[in-house]
Chain A
Amino acid sequence: MSDHPGSSVLEVEGLNVFYGTFQAVRDVSFNVKSGEIFGLLGPNGAGKTSTLSSVEGLLKPRSGEVSVAGFNIRKQPLHARSCMGVQLQATSFQPELTLTEIIKLYAGIYGVPLAKEKLNTILQNIKLEEAANKKFGQLSGGQQQRVSLVIATIHDPVLVLLDEPTSGLDPQSRRQLWERIEAIRGKGHAVLLTTHSMEEAEAVCDRIAIIDHGRIIAIDTPQSLIDLHRNDPSVIGVSRKGKITLEDVFIGLTGRTVRS
């Protein structure tokens, strides 16, 4: 697979998702370019995971188009999925399988030849050589996230989708994961991630979209969003440190009300 610098790897156009009569995603459009980390931010129930699930092809939107590397996710799902790697919010592998078996399973599914040396290199890279024969459930949260990420990228996809990749991780594991995500960008690939952490969004994302009530209400680089809303009274009103942060912008735009 080859990707073109700065070209759109993911195109989302006029996405509308419904659960019965409830509209979870409203006319959402954005794109993610190669060599870019794009963050999707929003309060609980804002429509982040529904948007991501539509991109992954797990949800059928009522209307709108999603294309991955030029392949429409509904019309050419296998082509589109072969170009993307996914880390779901809940790490989910057969609990009876060992780490080695899980890696072999997904390498086989993606048609990646996996000689013993390559498998050892993968395990060494994620510092889990000793845990090769452990079952997934026996690993710590940080180790599980590393396994999930390595499986999401085992076929070197041009687009990596990460649903709240660092939730529940300690600061060390989180930093390590950020470095791994940045390394994916370093290879010229695109990353779309959802997060609740403003620190994470500021630290790793090149661009972010803030989504609320299913609608994208702001989209830009973290710094540009801060600059744009610096004098917004709703943002100044929620500022706690005298200095406007991305979190202030986020709360200013989405409101103080706690979502379920």
Chain B
Amino acid sequence: MALPAELFVHKNFEMEATIPKPSDALLSLMRADFTTQWRNRRAVIMSLLVPVIILISWKGLVDKFGGAFVLSISMTIGLTSIGLMGYAISIARDRDKGVFQRLRVTPVPTFFIMLSRLLVQLAMIILLILFVFIIGHNFDKITLSPAGYALTFITAFIGGALYLGLGQMIVGLVKNSETVNSTTRLVYIAFIVLGMFGELGLFGDKLKVIIHWSPFGTVKTILAASMEPLTWNSESSLALLATVVYAFAFSFFGIKWFKWNTGGA
């Protein structure tokens, strides 16, 4: 005789739950994010194009200002592009489309979703550094010491963290993806114009000092100093400290203000 269904009722029982291995989940996320980045390779090329144009067009300035100056400006612009145009815009778009909400209802720790995105950007930063070094070497004949190459990798990661933090702060502050798009473009253009030409003193001495200690200037300073380690001085150390403080501040507010969806939930 079949037993009545009530006998099988167990309120508050716990079923077996198989939580996937975190490494498997992270690998799946990374595979998808790298594929997405590959499919958006035109945007990747654009991120690399501006630094390359600077390297080529400023060839004549290498003798006047030094190779480190040209390389550092070029790399700073590239890092700005990755943080603002690459990271921030893609986060804003996917948030708008509900991609994050779909991922958040899976058994994946939430920070894995962002970690995967950041690892893609880290790969982009490595690509940018290599690109700038190779073009700088082959076209502008700029060669650094082994210590210079190694130190530049480290400071470029710190600088990259600043711009990713800035991108995070913009998507934290601005909810609408179209507005994020236009805001990041405006900031990017402002950085290029004020940063590049302000550093040359074209906008006067007062603005030159402001730009020198701005997020653009401090990153440029530590990159230039790390390319020629013997020139590293107390001002470079202060610029490094300022870069780290900027990176932490931008990331802190970016994470604090960030909403996973545009609806506010």
Contacts and interface: CB of A to CB of B under 8 A. Distances in A.
B21 interface: yes
B28 A105 contact: yes
A108 B24 CA distance: 6
Interface of B: 5-6, 8-21, 24-25, 27-29, 31-32, 35-36, 39-40, 94, 97-99, 101-109, 260-261, 264-265
Interface of A: 1-9, 11, 19, 53, 56-59, 67, 69-71, 77-84, 86, 88, 90, 92-97, 101, 104-111, 158
A7 B31 contact: no
Contacts of B260: 58
A92 B11 CA distance: 34
B121 to A, nearest CB: 16
Nearest to A98: B35
A106 B106 contact: yes
A23 B250 CA distance: 33
A58 B100 CA distance: 11
B40 A78 contact: no
B21 A111 contact: yes
29 contacts: A1-B17, A5-B5, A7-B8, A8-B12, A58-B101, A58-B261, A67-B12, A80-B17, A81-B105, A81-B107, A82-B18, A83-B17, A90-B98, A94-B94, A96-B40, A101-B32, A101-B35, A105-B29, A105-B31, A108-B31, A109-B20, A109-B29, A109-B106, A110-B106, A111-B18, A111-B19, A111-B20, A111-B21, A111-B25
A199 B31 CA distance: 42
B35 A86 contact: no
B36 A70 contact: no
Contacts of B31: 104-105, 108
A78 B105 CA distance: 9
B13 A70 contact: yes
Nearest to A6: B5
B101 A70 contact: no
Contact of B25 (A3, A94, A96, A108): A108
A96 B31 CA distance: 13
B28 A69 contact: no
Nearest first, the 8 A-B pairs at minimum CB distance are: A108-B28, A111-B20, A92-B98, A70-B14, A96-B39, A69-B15, A82-B107, A86-B105
B26 to A, nearest CB: 9
Contacts of A104: 28, 31
A136 to B, nearest CB: 10
B119 to A, nearest CB: 15
Contacts of A83: 15, 17
